[in-house]
Chain A
Amino acid sequence: MSAVIDHGHGDHPHGPAPGLMRWVLTTNHKDIGTLYLWFSFCAFLLGGSFAMVIRAELFQPGLQIVEPAFFNQMTTMHGLIMVFGAVMPAFVGLANWMIPLMIGAPDMALPRMNNFSFWLLPAAFGLLVSTLFMEGGGPNFGWTFYAPLSTTYAPQSVTFFIFAIHLMGISSIMGAINVIATVLNLRAPGMTLMKMPLFVWTWLITAFLLIAVMPVLAGVVTMMLMDIHFGTSFFSAAGGGDPVLFQHVFWFFGHPEVYIMILPAFGAVSAIIPTFSRKPLFGYTSMVYATGAIAFLSFIVWAHHMFVVGIPVAGELFFMYATMLIAVPTGVKVFNWVSTMWRGSLTFEAPMLFAVAFVILFTIGGFSGLMLAIAPADFQYHDTYFVVAHFHYVLVPGAIFGIFASAYYWLPKWTGHMYDERLAKLHFWLSFVGMNLAFFPMHFVGLAGMPRRIPDYNLMFADFNRVSSLGAFLFGATQLLFLYIVVKCIRGGEPAPAKPWDGAHGLEWSVPSPAPYHTFSTPPEVE
């Protein structure tokens, strides 16, 4: 392996290397984006199959399919894989593909580190999933892994869980550094910050959140490791520590994390809605500032996850009001999306369907979040299915629909073919119905007191749970249709023009479809 001294002047651009090693050794942002997206989809199917196990067990009251101990591993692994394996890598994949195209850059700023960020993920998830086959089973303490359940009472595979989290953290931090360096340093001449597409803006802010909180997650799992193996007492009151300390440090990471999973979707939807409304985005500047405000507030609301754990009243009040404040910038965003559609020439292709559903259903999830923010009310809702309903409403029709919308929106650019619109619409409607059937009844059983993470339940919850399970099976099976649509689109279909959407704006539509292996070797001039 010698230092490679060809190219760099765009005078003899090379295409992709042949064979499998193309993907292993690549430094190309499009290749790496593709790898991220496929990895994310595999994780989505794996985490989804765990969800199917959970919903099958909860199809009727009583214990029938899996052991409670295994059920715990399923809820834990479902959460971990969906958060760290499906949603986050999908957005990094979109960032890799789209940010250089959107800002007129030849590639990401640090291409080899980009490859390193990706290939750490299979390592991390290989390690994580292998714990399921280890003695004592995999992680069974919930994706939030509260101490002492995850320290004193954990299966011994927790050590590998901790190192898997470290690997994911290293991957995320490097990915985020790459995004920031790219956005701040590689914009085409004339592309000022306030001319950047919102997807780039939201990713810039997301990257900042990632660099700020992933090290804190590394810190908390390190304290766990020390408590488990080296006799420290961070989370043990017997030595002067405090199990609640775990929750503070974890949620200092965990709350910004939920915005990490939704801000890029905000950005994508802010590109899609104007395109299919054939109007410029309403209130661009306020969108940027609202995103910044949400990011700032996300750092000072973490203890709303801990209202019942025992924090002083002053703390409860502060975190309650600070949390409610987030509704203001979020409201600005929803208002702007709706105003963009107002009197637009709307058409409802698949990306737009997912985007409109995003606005409506994410708002429902936002409202149940406001209910949970009210400390005295949260005393009732805490750890019930109402919480499960809330965060699935912000993550499934929020993050996941945002990813589907982005995938359909940019598939023509990636593959050079139009996807099958009829099947995509079917995918949308089946997902929409399935997801609402699965998660809406959870509000009711939650308010009636059904606890989360328990494999059995009271007879009175049986009907709603059956509906939830049927909806979940429908939603899960529908995603195989998505796989089929994507594969079909890659293999053929109506050739896509450079700009397949007549209302679209932005540099990514100025290059041919499919985008050539190297784009913008010489920077475009903006405005």
Chain B
Amino acid sequence: MSTHEQYYVPAQSKWPIVASLGLLTTFYGLGSWFNDLKAGRDSLSGPLILFVGALLLAWMLFGWFGNVIRENRAGLYSAQMDRSFRWGMSWFIFSEVMFFLAFFGALFYVRTFAGPWLAGEGDKGVSHLLWPDFAFAWPLLANPDPKLFPPPAGTISAWSLPLLNTVLLVSSSFTVTFAHHALKDGNRSRLKGWLALTILLGVCFLILQAEEYGHAYHELGLTLGSGVYGATFFLLTGFHGAHVTLGSIILAVMLVRVLLGHFTPEEHFGFEAASWYWHFVDVVWIGLFVFVYVL
């Protein structure tokens, strides 16, 4: 803690309040839009408010991160500040893990408890009285009430696109690590190559995922509304896809920074944080591949 005296306490900043207002506007717009859709109201105000909120957030992200990057490059940060950023990023990733855990937990609960009970098995099989004809199997191709929730005709096989996506994403974890080693070795051209390849793999993953969703919606009838299989499938893979999108954007920002000559072999926490995030996204995918697609 010898660097304590150098600790950087930033002065006033407008970005946090812009961020708060941006989030509030975004959520208010989103909520109005959802409610209008549900009530069948034809109104543009929700999407417009959402758009304004998104603009505020984009402005904030450029401003706030730009601010941090400028301070960092001006040499204002100490080793201690670096450790604060590391703790911050690690615990943020832990919070993301817990967010996914809620959905994985829902999946396990439905498959292990609620489903079999609804079909008359186990300790709470009495709920079978509700739909006496219901038999439980996973994937759930017959819902208790098929009128309310029309079941899917089939599900995505693990050994087609999902397997390819697994290969893509696991490879991208390797390539981002190669990029990191290149950065530490001071080899900028290899760094650029591996990083660009990582982003490319991420984008390919997203394209295949979109392809898979199209197949599910249009050919299999596997939708958000097709019972709890579709609900868990789309929420888990959808939130994962959103995180891959975010991760790709973060890596793209890192590529731009590399091209601008940022980062040194010794000091490059922005890049490391991005790669941590990318590895986290990868690990979640492996959980998804095993528990959503294979098992």
- Report the separation of the CA atoms of residues A112 and B74 in the bound assembly, to the nearest whole angstrom: 18
- Report the separation of the CA atoms of residues A523 and B6 in the bound assembly, to the nearest whole angstrom: 10
Extra inter-chain contacts (11) besides given A163-B31, A521-B5, CB under 8 Å: A8-B9, A107-B7, A160-B28, A162-B31, A167-B23, A211-B95, A212-B94, A232-B231, A234-B228, A240-B149, A314-B123
Asked if B8 lies at the interface with its beta carbon under 8 angstroms from chain A, I say yes
* Residue from B12, B30, B35, B149 in contact with A156 in the complex, judged by beta carbons closer than 8 Å: B35
Interface of B with A (CB < 8 Å)? 1, 4-17, 19-21, 23-24, 27-28, 30-31, 34-35, 37-39, 63-64, 67, 70-71, 74, 76, 80, 83-84, 87-88, 91-92, 94-96, 98-99, 101-103, 105-106, 109-110, 113-115, 118, 122-124, 127, 130-131, 136, 140, 143-145, 148-149, 223-232, 234-235
Question: Could you jot down 9 A-B contacts, CB within 8 Å?
Answer: A21-B12, A107-B9, A112-B16, A163-B30, A212-B94, A231-B223, A233-B149, A234-B232, A238-B149
Complex contact A239–B227 (CB within 8 A): yes
Ranked 7 nearest A-B pairs via Cβ: A219-B102, A231-B225, A239-B149, A312-B123, A232-B231, A242-B114, A238-B145
Assess A234 versus B106: contact at CB under 8 Å? Given A116-B16, A163-B27, A180-B87: yes
Assess A9 versus B1: contact at CB under 8 Å? Given A119-B17, A160-B31, A211-B94: no
**Which A residues from 185 to 242 make CB contacts under 8 A with B?**
185-189, 211-216, 218-220, 222-223, 225-226, 228-234, 236-242
Query: Which residues of A sit under 8 angstroms from B31, Cβ to Cβ?
Result: 159-160, 162-163
Asked if A458 lies at the interface with its beta carbon under 8 angstroms from chain B, I say no
Complex contact B9–A27 (CB within 8 A): yes
Complex contact A237–B4 (CB within 8 A): no
* Residue from A8, A226, A310 in contact with B6 in the complex, judged by beta carbons closer than 8 Å: A8
Complex contact B12–A181 (CB within 8 A): no
Q: Which residue of A lies closest to B147 (CB)?
A: A238
Complex contact A112–B231 (CB within 8 A): no
| A370-407 vs B, Cβ < 8 Å mask (1 yes, 0 no) | 00000000000000000000000000000000000000
* Residue from B38, B94, B102, B149 in contact with A228 in the complex, judged by beta carbons closer than 8 Å: B38
Asked if A184 lies at the interface with its beta carbon under 8 angstroms from chain B, I say yes
Complex contact A223–B140 (CB within 8 A): no
- Report the separation of the CA atoms of residues A218 and B1 in the bound assembly, to the nearest whole angstrom: 36
Query: Which residues of A sit under 8 angstroms from B98, Cβ to Cβ?
Result: 211-213, 215-216
Assess A127 versus B11: contact at CB under 8 Å? Given A5-B76, A245-B109: no
Query: Which residues of A sit under 8 angstroms from B13, Cβ to Cβ?
Result: 1, 4, 25, 27, 112, 115
Asked if A252 lies at the interface with its beta carbon under 8 angstroms from chain B, I say yes
Q: Which residue of A lies closest to B104 (CB)?
A: A219
| A36-73 vs B, Cβ < 8 Å mask (1 yes, 0 no) | 00000000000000000000000000000000000000
- Report the separation of the CA atoms of residues A116 and B148 in the bound assembly, to the nearest whole angstrom: 43
- Report the separation of the CA atoms of residues A186 and B4 in the bound assembly, to the nearest whole angstrom: 8
Distance in angstroms from A255 CB to nearest chain B CB is 14
Assess A241 versus B83: contact at CB under 8 Å? Given A1-B13, A211-B94: no
| A1-37 vs B, Cβ < 8 Å mask (1 yes, 0 no) | 1011111111000100100011011110000000000
Query: Which residues of B sit under 8 angstroms from A523, Cβ to Cβ?
Result: 1, 4-5
Query: Which residues of B sit under 8 angstroms from A178, Cβ to Cβ?
Result: 88
Complex contact A1–B63 (CB within 8 A): yes
- Report the separation of the CA atoms of residues A225 and B35 in the bound assembly, to the nearest whole angstrom: 11
Which of A5, A188, A214 has most chain B Cβ within 10 Å?
Answer: A5
Query: Which residues of A sit under 8 angstroms from B16, Cβ to Cβ?
Result: 25, 112-113, 115-116, 119
Query: Which residues of B sit under 8 angstroms from A119, Cβ to Cβ?
Result: 16-17, 19-20
Complex contact B28–A127 (CB within 8 A): yes
Complex contact B10–A111 (CB within 8 A): yes
- Report the separation of the CA atoms of residues A3 and B14 in the bound assembly, to the nearest whole angstrom: 11
Complex contact B27–A226 (CB within 8 A): no
Assess A10 versus B91: contact at CB under 8 Å? Given A127-B28, A238-B148: no
Distance in angstroms from B139 CB to nearest chain A CB is 10
Which of A8, A119, A127, A521 has most chain B Cβ within 10 Å?
Answer: A8
Complex contact B91–A229 (CB within 8 A): no
Asked if A109 lies at the interface with its beta carbon under 8 angstroms from chain B, I say yes
- Report the separation of the CA atoms of residues A6 and B94 in the bound assembly, to the nearest whole angstrom: 34
Complex contact A233–B227 (CB within 8 A): yes
- Report the separation of the CA atoms of residues A154 and B115 in the bound assembly, to the nearest whole angstrom: 25
Query: Which residues of A sit under 8 angstroms from B143, Cβ to Cβ?
Result: 233, 238-240
- Report the separation of the CA atoms of residues A123 and B234 in the bound assembly, to the nearest whole angstrom: 30
Q: Which residue of A lies closest to B103 (CB)?
A: A219
Query: Which residues of A sit under 8 angstroms from B74, Cβ to Cβ?
Result: 3, 5
